[in-house]
């Protein structure tokens, strides 16, 4: 078994080195595994990254965290302390393997067999591309991009990852959660017939906000308060609601051909909230005529709802991240109900399954393409609400509308800037052009 694993890790390195596929440069350095320990690099040492590293280090595989990268020293230091306190024997990240800055990711990726990509999503295409180029197995958080050019990069790198047999798991953890897996299996076996409609929701009170501090450059401010800037976050329809939209696509086993919707800023109107909306209502229309309604909002003091319902020609279903998964026939008779107790934590399951496959030398996971397509569904939802136009999938996917800054440095300027009062331009349907 160990030999098989060593072979597998070495084969990935050889592929990256262009020995078997010659279009990529070998990153060099400590690249191929010298023993059977699986070496991990964490790129983006924030809340989720620290959590993902915690989960990776909690698997039964023989693993070590060997490199860390973050844009900011304080975020990296905090994460390093938490992880090294908790996993004394499994964190081996000397100071010269803790990298800070916009180019930190390349150096950390080079030292690992598996990389955890957990920065804000605007950087994911660049980081995923690099990890694939260097021949690494990958866990990456959703969203995988925030605009059409980013999605195209991820789709292209996903195809190369498949050729190289690099396992790629994406943190759409409902795909690794038992109630969803059980219900989806039954839907795909025809339990409720063809899906003709549905409703998916992420209605909550919203998330954190970071105030501007004296001495910050515009780039640092946007990087710290990243949730509210589209080049980093993609708006909350992409950043959060993608989870539920992904379930719609999974249930339909397809992606929408067109999307239309409406949205605005009703609650978060001040200058601390960048440029994003706080509500989106979107219709996803599929090629067979099915329409799934998607709603997300960040309003304090209103009802919370995060779940999915779908109607089929022979019955209906209800699903939620709280382990619920119920199927009924048309008469209302319950066909299946997933047990609410005794369920594994899907955040742990995605790492358990990924590291088990890598440890056995198996190629089992290629989540990037379907995740990119679900992220793109959410992105065109944003294009629809910002523009007020019907957005067609194929046309939108060709758009050259990158939100990414021309240059990356602490003094470089992002593309969207505040006015003299500190307020950012807000998209206006009918006037805003997205494509």
Ligand X SMILES: NC(=O)c1ccc[n+]([C@@H]2O[C@H](COP(=O)([O-])OP(=O)(O)OC[C@H]3O[C@@H](n4cnc5c(N)ncnc54)[C@H](O)[C@@H]3O)[C@@H](O)[C@H]2O)c1
Q: Which chain residues interact with ligand X by CB under 6 A?
A: 43-49, 69-72, 75, 102, 104-105, 118-121, 123, 141-143, 171, 173, 223, 239
270: exposed, middle or buried (C-beta count within 10 Å: 0-12, 13-18, 19+)?
exposed
- When the beta carbons of 262 and 348 are compared against ligand X, the nearer one is 348
Q: Which residue is nearest to ligand X (CB)?
A: 46
CB of 361 to ligand X, least distance (A): 27
- When the beta carbons of 51 and 427 are compared against ligand X, the nearer one is 51
What's the CA gap between 292 and 18, in Å, rounded? 44
- When the beta carbons of 197 and 405 are compared against ligand X, the nearer one is 405
Token pair for 410: 């602490």
CB of 110 to ligand X, least distance (A): 14
- When the beta carbons of 7 and 74 are compared against ligand X, the nearer one is 74
CB of 71 to ligand X, least distance (A): 4
Write the CB contacts of 100 (distance below 8 Å, at least 6 apart in sequence).
Answer: 69, 70, 71, 72, 73, 76
Q: In terms of Cα–Cα distance, which of 43, 51, 130 is closest to 93?
A: 43
What's the CA gap between 52 and 63, in Å, rounded? 13
The number of beta carbons lying within 10 Å of the beta carbon of residue 393 is 18
- When the beta carbons of 139 and 328 are compared against ligand X, the nearer one is 139
What's the CA gap between 156 and 418, in Å, rounded? 34
- When the beta carbons of 75 and 268 are compared against ligand X, the nearer one is 75
Place of tokens 């699903």: 319
CB of 102 to ligand X, least distance (A): 5
Token pair for 1: 């078994």
CB of 313 to ligand X, least distance (A): 32
Q: Is the dihedral of CA 153, 158, 161, 162 positive or negative?
A: negative
- When the beta carbons of 126 and 434 are compared against ligand X, the nearer one is 126
- When the beta carbons of 311 and 377 are compared against ligand X, the nearer one is 377
CB of 260 to ligand X, least distance (A): 25
- When the beta carbons of 65 and 290 are compared against ligand X, the nearer one is 65
CA-CA distances (angstroms) from residue 359 to 17, 41, 280, 352, 415? 21, 16, 42, 10, 43
CB of 215 to ligand X, least distance (A): 17
Half-sphere exposure of 332 (CA within 13 A, CB side): 0
Q: Is the dihedral of CA 369, 125, 321, 56 positive or negative?
A: positive
CB of 372 to ligand X, least distance (A): 14
CB of 243 to ligand X, least distance (A): 7
CA-CA distances (angstroms) from residue 352 to 35, 57, 139, 359, 376? 20, 10, 11, 10, 27
- When the beta carbons of 63 and 117 are compared against ligand X, the nearer one is 117
CB of 104 to ligand X, least distance (A): 6
Quick check: helix, strand or coil at residue 256? coil
273: exposed, middle or buried (C-beta count within 10 Å: 0-12, 13-18, 19+)?
buried
Write the CB contacts of 363 (distance below 8 Å, at least 6 apart in sequence).
Answer: 165, 166, 167, 357
């Amino acid at each position: 078994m160990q030999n098989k694993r060593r072979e597998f890790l070495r084969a990935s390195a050889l592929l990256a080195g262009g020995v078997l596929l010659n279009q990529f440069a070998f990153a060099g350095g400590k690249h191929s595994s010298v023993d059977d320990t699986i070496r991990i690099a964490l790129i983006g040492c924030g809340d989720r990254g620290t959590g993902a590293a915690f989960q990776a280090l909690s698997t039964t595989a023989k693993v070590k965290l060997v490199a860390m990268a973050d844009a900011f020293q304080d975020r990296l230091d905090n994460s390093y302390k938490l992880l090294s306190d908790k996993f004394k024997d499994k964190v081996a990240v000397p100071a010269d393997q803790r990298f800070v800055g916009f180019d930190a990711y390349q150096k950390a990726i080079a030292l690992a067999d598996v990389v955890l990509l957990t920065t804000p999503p605007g950087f994911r295409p660049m980081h995923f591309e690099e990890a694939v180029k260097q021949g690494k197995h990958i866990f990456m958080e959703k969203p995988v991009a925030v605009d059409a050019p980013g999605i195209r990069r991820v789709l292209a790198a996903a195809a190369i990852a498949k050729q190289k047999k690099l396992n790629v798991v994406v943190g759409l953890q409902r795909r690794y959660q038992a109630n969803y897996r059980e219900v989806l299996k039954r839907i795909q076996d025809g339990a409720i017939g063809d899906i003709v409609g549905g409703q998916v929701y992420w209605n909550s009170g919203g998330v954190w906000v970071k105030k501007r501090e004296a001495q910050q450059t515009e780039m640092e401010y946007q990087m710290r308060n990243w949730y509210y800037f589209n080049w980093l976050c993609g708006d909350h329809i992409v950043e959060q609601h993608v989870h539920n939209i992904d379930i719609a696509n999974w249930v339909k086993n397809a992606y929408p051909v067109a999307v239309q919707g409406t949205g605005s800023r009703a609650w978060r109107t001040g200058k601390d909230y960048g440029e994003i909306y706080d509500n989106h209502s979107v219709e996803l229309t599929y090629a067979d005529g099915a329409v799934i309604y998607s709603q997300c909002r960040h309003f304090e003091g209103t009802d919370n709802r995060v779940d999915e319902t779908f109607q089929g020609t022979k019955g209906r279903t209800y699903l939620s991240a709280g382990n619920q998964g119920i199927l009924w026939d048309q008469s209302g008779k319950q066909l299946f109900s997933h047990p609410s107790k005794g369920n594994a934590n899907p955040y742990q399951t995605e790492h358990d399954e990924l590291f088990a496959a890598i440890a056995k030398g198996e190629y089992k996971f290629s989540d990037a393409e379907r995740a990119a397509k679900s992220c793109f569904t959410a992105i065109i939802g944003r294009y629809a609400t910002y523009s007020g136009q019907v957005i067609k999938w194929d046309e939108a996917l060709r758009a050259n509308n990158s939100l990414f800054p021309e240059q990356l440095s602490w003094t470089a300027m992002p593309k969207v800037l505040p006015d003299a009062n500190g307020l950012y331009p807000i998209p206006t349907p009918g006037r805003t052009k997205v494509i």
